[in-house]
Amino acid sequence: MAEFDYDLFAIGAGSGGVRACRVSATLGARVAVAEQSDLGGTCVNLGCIPKKLFVYASHFRDDFEDAAAFGWSLGDRGFDWPTLVANKDREIARLNGVYRGLLADAGVDLIEARARVLDAHTVEVGGRSITAANLLIATGSEPSVPGVPGAEFAMTSDQVFHLSHLPRRAIIVGGGYIAVQFAGIFHALGVATTQIYRGPLFLRGFDDDVRNFLASEMRERGVDLRFEADVASIEKVPGGLRTSLGDGSRLEADAILYATGRLPRTRGLGLEEAGVALDEKGAVSVDAFSRSSIPSVWAIGDATDRINLTPVAIHEGTCVAKTLFGGVAVKPDHTAVPSAVFSQPASGTIGATEAAARDTYGEIDVYRSTFRALKHTLTGRDEKTLMKLVVDRASDRVVGVHMVGADAGEIVQGFAVAVKCGATKAQFDATLGIHPTSAEEFVTMREPV
């Protein structure tokens, strides 16, 4: 590979790109990465990390309200949005520095400029051409906003983390992760929140019991959920923004957040001109090893629009590095990927939904439990928890675990190991619970519904 400047040149220093570069460098490759924005990509700067910090902040409202039931007396309290944003920014800056250090320690050359693909082995970056035996596209994704009249008055998740002040009234348009999470964040911080989704129920692709249960719990908390509704237009009015819905009704708010999906960030990279096949969304079409239609060009993460989760991008980046420089071809494994929606209450899932399991296995058993957590026997809250197991009847394997309730992400992460290892319902039943916890319900459900 001496005829090239590098063995691997990556475009994008998000979680996936950084992992691919670091592993490749430790395997002896000469590696460089170009990044035109902050290191760490969407997750660190405009996604998972700041979102979770905002979720933590929003939980204090319930904690303060519940404290009296446990004997605590609290004085005056208030919330200051600029303080939260400033503290979040400080942590993100720290993580940017961590990523910079990881690349430097691995011996990866970082070029902080926009890169563009010229051909199968050449990129233009910072006004010069650089060659590499292999190119890696790890540019992530960006928010997509429908072209409704007045859409320019709305914000996306790229702007919401930097609002100068917290709105009194907010409208959130969309039914995916981001929309559901910010509906919970805004509402818990005291914002009068309406979520609008054009479909009959949000979180398409999740288990139907999870979707229905979460919608009920959010409405119980006071979030105004409007399904089978869509925004026809947005206009500025004195004191805020007005949305006109498809049914002719109108809503007013101080801020409107569009969270209607994301598209691969591949525009203007020169990929099509270089002969790299893209799909209708602009995602790089790749094979099972993440190789594009050009053998020397690879792609991972949201740029491929497979499973758009940070751990998946990291896994794909590791596999590409090992395939190229580790002496063995490694396919990323996209089966039984756990995920969580940090809604309020939170949702966690691993494996098949009930509907998907019926299609795949035919005969299944479903175990479902709803209950009020021990904590709320004192607080008096009517908040419920949902836990659900989906079992392939023929093999007795647990093929799906679903939960809505406090700490769902933390709990389901542990059970993801069991599902990945092919644990059976009998093995779940033979596992002793930790009492008293909510998690023990997963190993004490005995009767299928």
Instruction: List 119's β-bridge partners, or say none.
Output: 122
Three-state secondary structure call for residue 92: helix
Asked whether the beta carbons of 229 and 199 are under 8 A apart, the reply is no
Q: Name the token pair of 144.
A: 């997509």
DSSP class of residue 23 equals: H
Catalytic residue among 59, 376, 402, 435: 435
Q: CB under 8 Å to 89, separation ≥6 — which residues?
A: none
Q: Return the SS3 of 428.
A: helix
| Contacts (Cβ under 8 Å, ≥6 apart) of 350 | 336, 337, 338, 339, 400, 401, 402, 412, 415, 416, 419, 420
End-to-end CA distance of the chain: 61
Distance CA 355, CA 138 (A): 33
State phi, psi for 382 to the nearest 5 degrees. -90, 15
> Which structure tokens are listed for 201?
């129920």
Report strand pairing: 128-137 vs 6-11.
parallel
- Whole-number Å distance between alpha carbons of 425 and 196: 39
Please say whether the beta carbons of 270 and 300 come within 8 A: no
Length of the chain as a residue count:
449
- Say how far residue 423 (Cα) sits from the centre of its chain: 26
Q: Active-site residue 315, yes or no?
A: no
Distance CA(37)–CA(46), nearest Å, equals 11
In 270-309, which residue ranges form alpha helices assigned H by DSSP? 271-274
User: E strands of 37-121, at which residues?
Assistant: 109-111, 115-119
* C-alpha–C-alpha distance, residues 121 and 4, integer Å: 8
Kindly compute the dihedral angle of the four CA atoms of residues 416, 417, 420, 424, in this order, to the nearest 10 degrees: -90
Residue 6: name the closest of 109, 105, 92, 144 by CA: 109
Distance (Å) of CA 389 to CA 217, 365, 432: 20, 8, 17
Catalytic residues: 435
